[in-house]
Chains A and B, each alone.
Chain A
């Protein structure tokens, strides 16, 4: 594996605007006692051992830094430092080539739920192993006093397991019952506690059969499933929240006396004047009072071309200042800005998702009454037949134990964990299992354009038609600007000899002017670069390069498609899925992309509310829609969709609204996620069939009173193993085939690399 190159470049490109400033770092640090401050940073580009060493050694050497620790799994760096001002951590990381983002820990610290689950797994595992040891002795013929001793020991060992490990199920079952609902934990809690109670009774009365092993190993198996489920969700959550925070946490406010103060976001009020440096995002809605620049509105409106901003231009929170410093007067506080408007729309849009009931819940709603009724009927039946209440009760409890939904409890989570792992290996993160179930149901996909189907970065369309000398000069000029078009020209001109100018001047809103050997070169808007006398019959528009007012070259730009976009669209069509595109951009830009990708249905110039309404209308037609988008303006639509997906470069709010987040560039992630979800869905249904089949076999044996603890243990373990083995088929070769079909896709290359 080559070190650091691919990930780092991508991350740098995304976050080249400087990263958090030192004031922001100080706001985000928290005191860990003893005068020590801790700062947590998310550094998405960390990916190997060399990264760990480079970061820990150079950040650890900074003055005031007590220690620096890299966490490779979560891609975070936590630094503890002393003193008044934070050490230049972010700058050091940037110097090493890593983009760093502040990470809001919200004082959460360690994952308490996971720690509790792990403790419970450990204790129940210990108890299950030891009780099984004693049980095997009993099954193989221990009698009388020895058997009683073993039963008593088992009872003793089972107590901490029931107390620590069982608590998790008892709590959940109680919560469900007290709200008048049923869940899978109710039969589990009932089965486990009744099995223990009956076994204790048998032990006191020197009975031959005790189910301590069944009750404890049941807990052990179920806890494994539950822990895996939790780890999967937690890992995703961390990775998602750990990504770049796009919203600023504060802003430089200019006071009346001209003094500058860095204020946290909630303290900014309408009327304040805010200084916005080039490369910063605008924190609140307002209008420009001084300066002129270009704004990247892709996240806010979906428009791909940058917009000029001059004095008086109205700006919205989330826009990115590209070229020059601006002074903006706030017209709304942060909580009333564009972003918050989106949050309100998202809350209103929350639709299909809230109504969706997970497969496991639907199954348990059917399963629990049947099981309890069977046990009750067994008891009544044996009472009527023999009148021996002890025997009737023993058999009824045996029925409960053997039908305890061990396999059923594992049927769903184990498949989803394996599926989530497959997706994770391919750079896709899933929020939770329900997202995967909903994904398997979709029949249409709605794409956003800017930033989703396209990279949002323009490229030079006609680089081959431009004279190399002109392109070289243009590239050297463009290197002085951060405008996206300039970056495209620089990218097209890499490798050409560089030119040293006598003077360089960037004229905001127009372009760049330089002098070279007495000649004046201009790169920028045509009506500015080309003088009146030379314009003549030429229609002056677009971006041109001129020398002393005479035109030398015209540059045309086009939006670059995200890699794999074509492949993804055709793959989805091949699976019989309707494709739709909805964008806030201008109609001609939208149509160009739609034609390129052969998408028949598209909507342009859509406001955020229009997008959400469009999705609500589709849901009304009973269509199950997957929405894929990245901007702030997509967030309500992402929330309104049946299931949603966002690239890792999306705005925070969109990423948090999405069920799936894909980390790699390519859109192959979409058909891949769909395939895995569909396959997982099939396996879940198979697992249910297996679990039900097992019950159909086992219940008659239990009802007829022939179940011994040995049979119960074997039957339960066997059914769990069968279900787990079936889930593991998801990792098999059948899945890889789809990705491999296109050997050039990045997905296929990674999978190949992993396989070799």
Chain B
């Protein structure tokens, strides 16, 4: 019983962290262009303007 007092909150906390991460990624627009995201990984990221664009898109 005593170990449950520790383990259950940990389990819930981890779950909540995952949920929070998902909600954050949803809000910051990471699901708006799934096809584009798949292609962008192939693009050359060295270019400064490319990085800039990615950073500013919050």
Pick out which of these stretches binds chain B: A66-74, A348-356, A516-524, A600-608: A66-74
Pick out which of these stretches binds chain B: A53-61, A187-195, A282-290, A526-534: A53-61
**Please, which residue of chain A has its CB at the minimum distance from the CB of B16?**
A126
**Please, which residue of chain B has its CB at the minimum distance from the CB of A125?**
B19
**Please, which residue of chain A has its CB at the minimum distance from the CB of B36?**
A72
**B12/A118 in contact, CB under 8 A:** no
**Please, which residue of chain A has its CB at the minimum distance from the CB of B18?**
A126
Chain A interface category by residue count: 20 to 34
Q: Which residues of A are found within 8 Å of B12, using beta-carbon distances? A: 130, 157
**A67/B56 in contact, CB under 8 A:** yes
**Please, which residue of chain A has its CB at the minimum distance from the CB of B56?**
A67
**B53/A129 in contact, CB under 8 A:** no
- Residue A57 contacts which of B39, B42, B49 (CB distance < 8 angstroms)? B49
Q: Which residues of A are found within 8 Å of B29, using beta-carbon distances? A: 110
Does B40 have its Cβ within 8 Å of any Cβ on chain A?
yes
Does A48 have its Cβ within 8 Å of any Cβ on chain B?
yes
- Residue B36 contacts which of A67, A73, A122, A157 (CB distance < 8 angstroms)? A73
A129 to B11, CA, bound (A): 11
Does A581 have its Cβ within 8 Å of any Cβ on chain B?
no
A-B pairs with CB below 8 Å: how many? 68
Interface string of B16-44 (1 = CB under 8 A from A): 10110011001101011111100110111
**Contact A118 B31, CB 8 Å, known A48-B39, A146-B1:** yes
**A122/B26 in contact, CB under 8 A:** yes
Q: Determine the main DSSP class of B at the interface with A.
A: helix
**A70/B36 in contact, CB under 8 A:** yes
Interface string of A113-135 (1 = CB under 8 A from B): 00100110011001001100100
**B34/A67 in contact, CB under 8 A:** no
Q: Which residues of A are found within 8 Å of B47, using beta-carbon distances? A: 57
Q: Which residues of B are found within 8 Å of A56, using beta-carbon distances? A: 49-50, 53
A610 to B47, CA, bound (A): 59
- Residue B57 contacts which of A57, A69, A72, A126 (CB distance < 8 angstroms)? A69
**B11/A130 in contact, CB under 8 A:** yes
**B33/A74 in contact, CB under 8 A:** yes
Q: Which residues of A are found within 8 Å of B52, using beta-carbon distances? A: 67
**Contact A52 B16, CB 8 Å, known A71-B32, A122-B22, A146-B1:** no
Does B8 have its Cβ within 8 Å of any Cβ on chain A?
yes
A505 to B6, CA, bound (A): 90
- Residue A67 contacts which of B27, B39, B53 (CB distance < 8 angstroms)? B53
**B23/A72 in contact, CB under 8 A:** no
In the complex, how many angstroms separate the beta carbon of B33 from the nearest chain A beta carbon? 4
Q: Which residues of B are found within 8 Å of A153, using beta-carbon distances? A: 8
In the complex, how many angstroms separate the beta carbon of B36 from the nearest chain A beta carbon? 3
Q: Which residues of B are found within 8 Å of A52, using beta-carbon distances? A: 36, 39-40, 43
In the complex, how many angstroms separate the beta carbon of B25 from the nearest chain A beta carbon? 10
Interface string of A86-106 (1 = CB under 8 A from B): 000000000000000000000
**Contact A146 B4, CB 8 Å, known A71-B33, A126-B15:** yes
Interface string of A12-50 (1 = CB under 8 A from B): 000000000000000000000000000000000000110
**A72/B33 in contact, CB under 8 A:** yes
**Please, which residue of chain A has its CB at the minimum distance from the CB of B41?**
A49
- Residue B19 contacts which of A71, A110, A126, A149 (CB distance < 8 angstroms)? A126
A115 to B56, CA, bound (A): 21
**B43/A73 in contact, CB under 8 A:** no
**A123/B19 in contact, CB under 8 A:** yes
Q: Which residues of B are found within 8 Å of A70, using beta-carbon distances? A: 36
A60 to B34, CA, bound (A): 22
A157 to B12, CA, bound (A): 9
A701 to B10, CA, bound (A): 38
Task: Return the 9 tightest CB-CB contacts between A and B, nearest first.
Answer: A72-B36, A49-B39, A126-B19, A72-B35, A71-B33, A73-B35, A73-B33, A49-B42, A67-B53
| 6 A–B contacts, CB within 8 A, in A order | A60-B49, A73-B34, A122-B26, A126-B15, A130-B12, A133-B11
